[in-house]
A and B are shown apart, each in its own frame.
Chain A
């Protein structure tokens, strides 16, 4: 399930709280005469519902595109090596065991510095389809996994459940 699918599912799960809180807000705005009356009031209510969903999606976006990768980098790399502005791709997979992956463009000096921390594991510097992956973090327990690697000047982060 992709990012849009996950958000669609979240929209269904949170439909009742959003519809009811929008109705409450609409009732207050109606009392204040801040929304049009008559037939247009239905559209104003729909607009409020859309605003509620937009706020929810904005929160999810800030969490998934900004906060989660920053926390992941701080936890495993000790600092933020790739800024949110250098984010090149993001994907969300899975339903019961969701996982997220981010890809960042790195400056050559940062790439060189991070490559000095490649894991001395059989998986480190793994050759995949002719491309070389330099794993910096590769861990998993019974429930979660996290991988951080560099490939072709890009920092890849993966985190999720399995």
Chain B
């Protein structure tokens, strides 16, 4: 597995944790008004989005064309 694929796997695992946190955060907000899990999920999604944007930008700068994940995996 290349380092690029490993980084993608890392981002996917983080995305899954963030998505589960978001779902749990919504449930907690509804039943108890707690916002900690929802806030954490939003921070995680923001960090993931920023890291993705930075990766795309560095790939564009280096001249390598950005390959969408679906096309790359195919």
- Chain A residues with a Cβ under 8 A of chain B: 2-4, 7-8, 11, 29, 32-36, 40, 43-44, 46-47, 50-51, 53-55, 57-58, 61, 65, 87-92
Contact = CB atoms under 8 A, between A and B. Distances in A.
Interface in B1-57: 3, 6-7, 9-10, 13-14, 17-18, 20-21, 24, 27-28, 31-37, 40-41, 43-44, 47-48, 50-51, 54-55
A33 B3 contact: yes
A89 B34 CA distance: 11
B5 to A, nearest CB: 9
Interface of B: 3, 6-7, 9-10, 13-14, 17-18, 20-21, 24, 27-28, 31-37, 40-41, 43-44, 47-48, 50-51, 54-55
A58 B31 contact: no
Contacts, number: 91
A14 to B, nearest CB: 13
Nearest to A101: B32
A53 B28 contact: no
Contacts of A4: 33-36
